[in-house]
Amino acid sequence: MAVLGANSYGKAECRLVRVDRDGPHHRLTDLTVSTALAGRLAATHLTGDNTDVLPTDTQKNTVYALARHGVATIEEFGLDLARHFVSGGGAVEQARVTVQRHPWQRLGEHSFARRGDETRLAVVTASAAGAWVVGGLTGLVLLNTTGSEFRGFARDRYTTLPEAADRILATAVDARWRFADLGTGWDGAYDAAHAALVDAFTQTYSRSLQQTLYAMGERVLDAVPQVAEVRLSLPNRHHFLVDLAPFGLDNPGEVYVAADRPYGLIEATVAREGADGPGLAWDWAGRS
């Protein structure tokens, strides 16, 4: 006998660009918004009865309609959307809204240039029991040319990796941090967390990427008291020294090949002692 398990549905990756035209100094907000609704929705799966199904097209329209009233921060916008979807008193009992903000660099009063792949994000979940907010970022690419080693690791019959006393350490940070409450200065918290991640990476002598990850998570908790826990995913972007001996050349740590795959992937949560709440495991499983 089959039993319906956990389920949700929504509209993925609604592209939204808002231009604030208060005077000649325009402000550009570029977002990707995804919604996911859950609740008493078994009937549509089991019998095809759509009575309680709010169409995903309606969810998309709601994103644009609420954007007409302004987008202050992505956390606030996500809260407005999530609370809207659970306020109707229908079958929807929980709403999760994921908002990604794409960075643009100002060139003039009304001119902009897209700035790299680094993306700020927020994941907001609301239900009758309350709401919680997860902030974060993706695509923060960091590299140290020295100050990193990897030695003393376990070996077995298949180990061929030599020890490295001095190596390039590079990664593309994917981070999520859960706020303990909603009374938070969102922009200030993001700026502080971002700076903490960068400072910890650059200032930590790394004996392993795991050690660096923990230092980065700990630094975020120190810098942002409102954060209860931070989850980090750090791919190890390997740089291998090229053997130039066949060409009669030495290579004193100057010429490398940057390998894109396979790569090591280090993931962990660093939590404030005694922190309670929903935790980040649910969020990480879906990479939302």
Q: Would the pTM of this model clear 0.85, i.e. be above it?
A: yes
The distance between the two most distant Cα atoms of the chain, rounded to a whole number of Å, is 76
pLDDT digits (tens, 9 = 90+) for 8-63: 999 999 999 999 999 999 999 999 999 999 999 999 999 999 999 999 999 999 99
Predicted local confidence at residue 277, as pLDDT = 63
DSSP labels for 52-107? T---HHHHHHHHHHHHTT--S-HHHHHHHHHHHHHSS-SSEEEEEEEEEE--EEE-
Scan for tokens 């090229």, then name that residue.
242
Q: Which CATH architecture has domain 10-128?
A: Roll (3.10)
Domain segments of the chain as ranges: 10-128, 138-288
Q: Would you say the C-alpha torsion 200, 201, 203, 208 has a positive or negative sign?
A: positive
Question: Whole-angstrom Cα distance, residue 81 to residue 201?
Answer: 35
* 89: confidence class by pLDDT, cuts 50, 70, 90: confident
> Is it the case that residue 280 has pLDDT exceeding 90?
no
Q: What is the three-state SS of 224-270?
A: CCCEEEEEEEEEECCEEECCCHHHCCCCCCCCEEECCCCCEEEEEEE
The closest of 118, 153, 151, 149 to 136, measured between CA atoms, is 118
- The answer to whether residues 104 and 118 touch, using CB atoms and an 8 Å cutoff, is no
Q: What is the mean pLDDT of the chain?
A: 94
**What whole-number distance in Å separates Cα of residue 119 and Cα of residue 104?**
10
For the annotated catalytic residues, the residue numbers are 11, 56, 238
pLDDT at residue 166 in the model:
96
- Of residues 65, 69, 2, the one with CA closest to residue 33: 65
Quick one: what percent of the chain has pLDDT higher than 90?
Answer: 92
Fold of 138-288: Urate Oxidase (3.10.270)
Cβ within 8 Å of residue 260, ≥6 positions away: 237
Q: Judge contact between 88 and 39, C-beta under 8 A.
A: no
Identical fold at 10-128 and 138-288? yes
Q: What is the mean pLDDT of residues 183-187?
A: 91
